[in-house]
Structure 1
C-alpha cells in the first residue's frame, strides 16, 4: 500500500507505457527506466503479498485455527480479485474514482489481515492493548504535523512517511479495539470505556488515510486537520483510561466455537 502511494505521488503510475500487466522494457516484462521500475516493483510486491495472503488463509484452514481468524483471512482473500482488477484500471483508466476505490479495497484487505493477527494473538492469551494504544499515541501527533498541505510540503517522501505512520496507527487502533471488545465479566466496564474511544478513532483515521491524497482545497485541508485533531483527542482519552489502570482481560485460549 505504501509503495502504491509512493508510485502515484512520484508520477510513476502511468509508466510502463501505460500497459498492464506488461511494462516497457525487455520483452515487455521488465522496466526500461527508474520510473517504470517504481511501477513494476509495486506490481511485483503486490503480487507476492497476494500470494502470501492466500497461502496464510489456506494454512489457517488446514491448521484449524479459530473461526474468527479464518473468516477474517477469507474476507481478505475474497477481496483480492477486486484489488487486482482495480490495480489494472488505475493504469488503463487512471481516474480519481478508480484510484480511491483501489485504496479503499486495499484498506479493507489490510483491516481484515490486522483483525486476523489481533485475534490470533488474543486466542493465545497475549493481547497487547496498552502497547497498541501507546503506538497510536505516538503516531497521531506525527499525522497531525504531516497533515496534507498544512504544515509541510506533501510531496512523495512526505506522503510515504504519512502513510507508513498512518497505517501503523490505524492497525494499532483496530487491534486495540478488538482486544478491548474481548473483555468480559469484571473487565467489561473498563474495557468498554476504552473501546468507545478507540473505535471512533479507528474510523476517523481510516477516513483520513482514504481521503488524504484527495485533499487539495483549503476547506478540505481544514476538515482533514480537524478530523486528525479529533482522533488525537480520542487517542489521548484512551491513553488516560489505560494509565488509570485497566484490569488484565481474561481472554485465554479460545476454542473453535468462538
Structure 2
C-alpha cells in the first residue's frame, strides 16, 4: 500500500513543496502572456517566416536550431519562450489534477488549458507553413483563451487574499487600459494607422491588461459581495470587454468605428458604475 502511495505522488511535488502551487500558476500565467506578446512582436516585425519557413527548426547552427539574424531571432525567441510556457502549462495541469488541496474548478481550467496547448502548437506551426489570416487569427484567439483560463484559475487560487480594495484597483486599471485601447486604435487618429511594431506590441499589452483586470475585478466582486446591483455591474464588464476587443481589431473598417466607440463608452460607464457600487457596498459593510 505504501508503495502504491509513493507511485501516485506527483512527480512535480518537490517543486510544489518548495514554491507553492499558487506561485507556479502565477508564473505560468506570466509565461503565457509573454508568449502572446512575443508572438505579436514576431508578426509585427514580419519575422514569422524569418526562419526560412522551418518549424520547429530555424535557419542557423547545428541542425538549424538557432537563428541566423535579428528577424530570425524574434521568431526563434518566441518559440523558445512558448516552449517553457508549454512545459509550465503541463506542469500546472498535472499538479492541479493530482494535488488534493487544489480546487477542482482550478484543476478543470488548467487541464483545459493543457488540452488547448497542442492545438495552439499546431496552429503555430501552420502560421509558418501557410501564413494565412484565418490561421493567424485562430492562433491568436486560442492563445487569448488559454490566457483567460489561467487568469481565472489564478484568481481562484488567490481569491482568499483578494479584497474589495483589489477589485477597485482592478477596475481602475481597466479604465486606464480602456482609455489607452481607444487612444491607440485607428479610430482616434492617423498616427496609429501605420501600426509600427512598437505600436502593435503596446496595443496588445494594453489588450491583455484590459482583459485580465476586468476578469479579476468581476471575480473578486462576485466572491466578496452579495448586493445584486454591485455583482451585476461587475459581471457585465467581461463580455463588454470581449465585444470591445472584437470590434477594436476590426476598427480599421470605417463601418465598425461607431460600434466600437459605442461599446467602449458603455464599458467605461460599466467600469465607473462598478467602482461606485463596490465602494458604496464596502462603506456600508464597514459601518454595519
Task: Classify the TM-score, shorter chain.
Answer: 0.7 to 0.9
Q: Tell me if the contact between 2:230 and 2:278 (Cα under 8 Å) persists in the aligned partners.
A: no
Stretch of structure 1 that moved more, 189-198 or 110-119? 189-198
Equivalent residue in structure 2 for 1:44, among 49, 56, 80: 80
Partner deviation per Cα, 1:126-170 (whole Å, 9 max, x = no partner): 343222112112211111111146423222111111111110110
* Matching residue of 1:207: 246
1:228 aligns with 2:277: no
Q: Tell me if the contact between 2:155 and 2:219 (Cα under 8 Å) persists in the aligned partners.
A: yes
Partner deviation per Cα, 1:202-255 (whole Å, 9 max, x = no partner): 3324425xx62x553322444444433332232222223233343799xxxxxx
Stretch of structure 1 that moved more, 231-240 or 23-32? 231-240
1:157 aligns with 2:198: yes
1:25 aligns with 2:60: yes
Aligned positions of 1:1-258 closer than 5 A: 1-26=36-61, 27-64=63-100, 65-122=102-159, 124-127=160-163, 128-148=166-186, 150-151=188-189, 152-153=191-192, 154-183=195-224, 187-208=226-247, 212=249, 215-246=251-282
TM-score (norm 2): 0.77
User: 1:33 Cα deviation (Å)?
Assistant: 0.5
User: 1:196 Cα deviation (Å)?
Assistant: 4.0
Instruction: Identify if the C-alpha distance between structure 1 residues 246 and 202 changes in structure 2 by more than 3 Å, giving closer, same or farther.
Output: farther
Larger radius of gyration: 2
* Matching residue of 1:255: none
Q: Tell me if the contact between 2:234 and 2:270 (Cα under 8 Å) persists in the aligned partners.
A: no
User: 1:3 Cα deviation (Å)?
Assistant: 1.0
Aligned with 2:282: secondary structure?
coil
Q: Tell me if the contact between 2:152 and 2:215 (Cα under 8 Å) persists in the aligned partners.
A: yes
Aligned partners of 1:81, 1:148: CA distance in 2, in Å?
34
Structure having greater relative contact order (Cα 8 Å, sep ≥ 6) = 1
Q: Which runs of 5+ in 1 are unaligned?
A: 250-258
TM-score (norm 1): 0.85
Length, aligned pairs only: 243
RMSD of aligned residue pairs (Cα, Å): 2.2
Instruction: Identify if the C-alpha distance between structure 1 residues 15 and 221 changes in structure 2 by more than 3 Å, giving closer, same or farther.
Output: farther
